Structure 1
């Protein structure tokens, strides 16, 4: 029977399905970013009615993405609303290659880091080394992996210019990588979908979701690691990408015209003058992550360390003053060894930036240490994986259910945890691992 033009029609099945998917995404994203919420809070935040929230929560639970617990006893009349949690056992494998180490983590929804292992490399890791180390480390996580509900994929945070569409590393000068298909290699080596992006941008994202920049719309973020200094900026709540997606090379701000030669060809870049390697040399250390660096610097009042810390902080302040003048951020977040430096001499950065920025802007900006510490880049890398799951929670049904489903037993691949065989790490990358 035909329908006349004036007859009202209900939504199409495709339209209904699309709306349902958007509603599932809204609920799961709130749980992922804000932590456990009651059904009543979800109703208020989403504007849905109670029955709709109940149905959506039930569907997320069936997909294995959420679960409910009874709330703590409350002194009020009526039955309290159950707490809904994003399932932290829905996880991503996070990989962070750097010049001195490859760090691998298992990160669950909500930013929960189940395990972090740093493998100190004996030399610059190649892409092949990075894949082999990651496979070996993942196999060592067999007990944690076996407890996971779902491994959704691999995310890599790289100190490099990265094509975020296909995960190709266009240029990583410190690693000596060029046009390397890192995401494709990780995917082939571990049997999971993989994505890659610039480490500083991912660190900025992680701090804005879970750390020192939550709720802030104008942020400058700087991360310092063995490979140098990367950065990112959030302007009006929008990440600054640039015309071709590579904005944020803040480490190449010149702070000393007569300084050391930088790999970019100029002298006195921020990442050349403010350097982890200079601190490690004074401390007599070959390698150190930020936790080890902080432990070594704590209470150390040697004149050489104090002088070098003051020198680096003053040069960092000069760069931050420029960033305040350019971006007018409300918050500056310092990650990696920059956060350790900031804590080593409290107040020095704030005083210098307050004196140097125009129009009193320096006195208004807040300078904070990254809250996620040594887990920062792993949490950021995991967001690459979770982005697709949050946008389309129903896609979880198409992903492998459990670690045994994706650990291939063929030669040269990662073996199932029960096999107990470790993957050989290439001699060129041999070092030692620290949990």
Structure 2
């Protein structure tokens, strides 16, 4: 049977998505590498890349030909014409960034709150930052959508925050609220689950199929889990809430026993401005190590239990947990070894996040990247997924 037009169009869109996915993960790939990876012929790859370039998703360039025999293959890279807006609401602030395909942050803005904000206050602040951020982007920039990484249990299909314990949010329709405030399509998910994705694609978890990621922030501790190369989300999408496990002595939740607030108080004293992680690490290195040692022991005990359950090959620690691991590396490793079963603990690497403050913005952007990969042909066309920034041209 001869394929009809709709089938051919579906195949084309699928192949466009494959190219976007490969270029996004690889950041720069030659046409010949795309040909090998997809199994498509060179003329088909050339046509697909040309269409994606016209839609502002990729660019082509030629690598240096010095010392190279034969005609070089063009290099395909993410275009700077298309950006994703990423939002990270927290206990004490909201951060908004413009993220490029390929997982790099172009620009960011942050608004601090004097007290934990309501969902409406976070949305209003994020919407204001988005207006200012978009106004500063180059004229003609396409905005593919908004991704939100929130420290909460999120119903991913509709972006409803079921529960954000530190923020005090319950059943807040965050995606709908932010979409109405900005006019962009909005997608929301748990921050640590998105952080795990970002680290696996672009950071300390590259190439790792069995991974635990723990994020420590102002709102507590969250986690993401990848096993067999697949994110583990659970029946309702709420898996990974390691901060609310009760493996500590006395049944105290992990995020209450290991907290950023306690480390800040030791390093800077009560009432001082909240530092970034780099400043916190410098101050803790020169402070009394009693609290850092205590927290490292609690964290190590919890990690030992997690390793027994998930049997990962790598554990990645982000935020203040990465700071704690850098201050007390030997003590943390000794405690993990004490509580993890020998065979499960063998070969496990405990490492720090490589993406730093960009981590959750890159993770949030992945929500929109998924939609772009699913249908790249929607970018560059008037639709709900692609809008153009025309203000504040540079």
Query: Is TM (by shorter chain) over 0.5?
Result: yes
Q: Deviations over 1:275-317 (max 9, x none)?
A: 00001111223423323323433x41x22xx111111111000
Equivalence for 2:110? 118
Structure 2: how far apart are the matches of 1:161 and 1:155? 15
2:363 is aligned, of 380, 386, 410, to 380
- The 1:215–1:28 alpha-carbon spacing in structure 2 relative to 1, beyond 3 Å, is same
1:63 is aligned, of 35, 55, 65, to 55
Aligned residues: 387
Instruction: Give the SS at the match of 1:347.
Output: helix
Structure 2: how far apart are the matches of 1:152 and 1:142? 12
Equivalence for 2:275? 288
Instruction: Give the SS at the match of 2:170.
Output: strand
Structure 2: how far apart are the matches of 1:401 and 1:192? 8
1:96 and 2:80 are equivalent in the alignment = no
Q: Deviations over 1:103-162 (max 9, x none)?
A: 111111111101122222111111221122112222332554234631011111111111
Instruction: Give the SS at the match of 1:169.
Output: strand
Equivalence for 1:433? none
Equivalence for 2:291? 308
Q: CA deviation at 1:71?
A: 0.8
- The 1:340–1:323 alpha-carbon spacing in structure 2 relative to 1, beyond 3 Å, is same
Structure 1: how far apart are the matches of 2:75 and 2:136? 25
1:354 is aligned, of 337, 345, 348, to 337
Q: CA deviation at 1:345?
A: 2.2
Structure 2 unaligned spans of 5+: none
* Aligned residues of 2:233 and 2:239 also touching (Cα < 8 A): yes
Q: CA RMSD in A?
A: 1.6
* Aligned residues of 1:91 and 1:148 also touching (Cα < 8 A): no
Structure 2: how far apart are the matches of 1:148 and 1:215? 35
Q: Kindly report which structure 2 residues correspond to 1:266-281, keeping only aligned pairs within 5 A, or say none.
A: 267-281=251-265
Equivalence for 2:128? 136
* Aligned residues of 1:353 and 1:363 also touching (Cα < 8 A): no
1:20 and 2:3 are equivalent in the alignment = no
1:403 and 2:389 are equivalent in the alignment = yes
2:304 is aligned, of 312, 321, 336, to 321
* Aligned residues of 2:311 and 2:344 also touching (Cα < 8 A): yes
* Aligned residues of 2:32 and 2:42 also touching (Cα < 8 A): yes
Structure 2: how far apart are the matches of 1:323 and 1:400? 41
Structure 2: how far apart are the matches of 1:75 and 1:329? 43
* Aligned residues of 1:354 and 1:360 also touching (Cα < 8 A): no
Task: Tell me which stretches of 4 or more aligned residues in structure 1 moved more than 3 Å.
Answer: none
1:82 and 2:74 are equivalent in the alignment = yes
Structure 1 unaligned spans of 5+: 1-8, 259-266, 405-415, 419-435
* Aligned residues of 2:87 and 2:147 also touching (Cα < 8 A): yes
Equivalence for 1:222? 214
Q: Kindly report which structure 2 residues correspond to 1:142-153, keeping only aligned pairs within 5 A, or say none.
A: 142=134, 144-147=136-139, 149-153=141-145
1:184 and 2:186 are equivalent in the alignment = no
* Aligned residues of 1:154 and 1:192 also touching (Cα < 8 A): yes
1:197 and 2:183 are equivalent in the alignment = no
Structure 2: how far apart are the matches of 1:110 and 1:78? 29
1:171 and 2:171 are equivalent in the alignment = no
* Aligned residues of 2:135 and 2:389 also touching (Cα < 8 A): no
Instruction: Give the SS at the match of 1:243.
Output: coil
Equivalence for 1:367? 350
Q: CA deviation at 1:200?
A: 0.8
- The 1:307–1:148 alpha-carbon spacing in structure 2 relative to 1, beyond 3 Å, is farther
* Aligned residues of 1:356 and 1:362 also touching (Cα < 8 A): no
- The 1:391–1:74 alpha-carbon spacing in structure 2 relative to 1, beyond 3 Å, is farther
Greater C-alpha radius of gyration: 1
Instruction: Give the SS at the match of 1:145.
Output: coil
Instruction: Give the SS at the match of 2:166.
Output: coil
